[in-house]
Structure 1
Amino acid sequence: MNYKNIKISLLFISLLAYGSSFAQNPIITDIFTADPAPIVYNETVYLYTSHDTATVADTNYKMPDWYVFSSKDMVNWTNHGSPLSPKSFSWATGDAYAAQCIERNGKFYWYVSTFHKKDENSNGGAAIGVAVSDSPTGPFKDAIGKALIVNEMTTELKHGWDDIDPTVFIDDDGQAYLYWGNGSCRMVKLKENMIELEGEITNFKPKNYIEGPWVYKRKDLYYLVYASVGTKPEMIEYCTATSPEGPWEYRGIIQENVPNSFTTHPGIVDFKGKSYFMYHNGTLPTGGSYRRSICIDYMYYNEDGTIQKIVQTKEGVKPVK
């Protein structure tokens, strides 16, 4: 090989290295993942996900379990496997839909959506359970031996899959809140033990709301971010409020449709001085609406607290030092 060919070969290797270092989205490529739910604990981001196993010929979801991943730099992710599935709950049946985990007093509470068997506690339909662990990666077990939310508790909508997609938030004063819902958004306070409801369930309908709420606080504002049905496929829109109980002021669209998937789902986290927006799309080879993959891009705020439009990229984010 002459000198010119050596230079070309080195350039090609450099380009390959550049691509592997900076083409980060989707972030997990060995399995199909969806519905990202990140938390920060002990200088590490833990990412809780759904798991798509539908074939390319399937026309509906197959989601047998939930997975946990972790990263210290937002780029390199460790797969901790599946510590929880609907089979972990004696009352549950069906698929493992969107879920979110939160830490309180050294324990990790994982709120999940699946379906309820027909028994003395429910006639079936979507339900929300809660699992608990002493570690962010499990093992997790059913915290109360029954569903926390069953379909009979919410009757303003008549379809049986309205109690899905829980998000949980603990305010500065220690009060915990659970939000969820397809078709309308529900909210209820949680007791300090995180496994009992406190007070009545309320429901409200933000503009274009369909499902997938994510609630958090930044400075003096509370944010309700959600998947919208103003157009199909879904987009992400949001509201803000000065109280976790509202009233919520509509603020607009922050994420347009994602490639090759008619759903999207927000997961938002601050880590080492930067804000990150997680979502899923269908861009992996053989991917699609039932074979989705999680991505991460930067999230930016304006001075008044409003959120700038999310720029979806193939490059993703850079490693955190």
Structure 2
Amino acid sequence: WAGQVIERNGKFYWYVTVSHGSIHGKSIGIAVSDSPTGPFKDALGKALITNDMTTKTKISWDDIDPTVIVDDDGQAYLFWGNTVCNYVKLKENMIEMDGPMQTIDLPNFTEAPWIHKRKDWYYLSYAYQFPEKIAYAMSKSVHGPWEYKGILNEVAGNSNTNHQSIIDFKGKSYFIYHNGSIPTDGGSFRRSVCVDRLYYNPDGTMKRVVMTSEGIQN
């Protein structure tokens, strides 16, 4: 679950959370395709990250929710985690780590990190507490230090979980998330994808997202 596709050099890399066949717990795998719609195939032949590689927490589901950024200098980074936020440099081939794993100390980090950059600022948003709100931090460097900036999105209706992505499209910014408003038996594990506009303040901070039932109209 909770995957992200990112393009590099004409290839599309899909980072996904999977259950490992022989190592207990969740893992992060990578698939690759020539098209964002697939077909995708295993890029590495094994998981990139397994539960025995991360020891800051004893839970078996801490290696989830991967998000990737390719920085302006071409260096790629992978962020992920549950209860502990991790990140690591990736090699140019996008399927190997290039250095040690690092951790980031964020207030009330639960899961669902999302990394993006706008102008000179890096933004690290994430699921905060439980039931989950979305909070975020900002930095002038992908390596931090990260300054906590507060809540970006409130608890999304009747869903205890939330997981966001932030994109720009045709000059506008969008906040993608989920709630539990699907008409039949909606809830924390029967979710609806939602999209609302995202706005920035002059100082680069993000305005709190206004959730709507209508979503994007134009």
TM-score normalised by the chain length of structure 1? 0.67
Task: Measure how far apart 1:233 and its partner are.
Answer: 1.4
Q: Which amino acid in 2 is paired with 1:233?
A: P
Higher gyration radius (CA): 1
Q: How does 1:109-258 map to 2 (within 5 A)?
A: 109-118=13-22, 123-229=23-129, 232-258=130-156
* Cα offsets for 1:188-211 (capped at 9, x unmatched): 000000011000001122011110
Whether 1:307 aligns to 2:206 is yes
Distance 2:83 2:19 in 1: 17
Q: Which amino acid in 2 is paired with 1:305?
A: G
Task: Measure how far apart 1:318 and its partner are.
Answer: 2.2
**Aligned partner (choices 126, 144, 157) of residue 259 of structure 1:** 157
Task: Measure how far apart 1:124 and its partner are.
Answer: 1.6
Question: Any unmatched runs of 5+ in structure 1?
Answer: 1-96
Distance 1:248 1:155 in 2: 22
For 2:3, the equivalent position in structure 1 comes to: 99
Q: How does 1:22-37 map to 2 (within 5 A)?
A: none
Give the match's secondary structure for 2:98. strand
User: Over the residues paired in the alignment, what is the CA RMSD in angstroms?
Assistant: 0.7
For 1:289, the equivalent position in structure 2 comes to: 188
Distance 1:156 1:311 in 2: 35
Task: Measure how far apart 1:178 and its partner are.
Answer: 0.1
Distance 2:212 2:153 in 1: 12
- Higher alpha-carbon deviation: 307-316 or 171-180: 307-316
Give the match's secondary structure for 1:152. helix
Q: Flag as ranges the 4+ runs of structure 1 deviating above 2 A.
A: none
Structure holding more helix per residue: 1
Distance 2:24 2:38 in 1: 28
Number of equivalenced pairs: 217
Distance 1:192 1:276 in 2: 28
Task: Measure how far apart 1:268 and its partner are.
Answer: 0.7
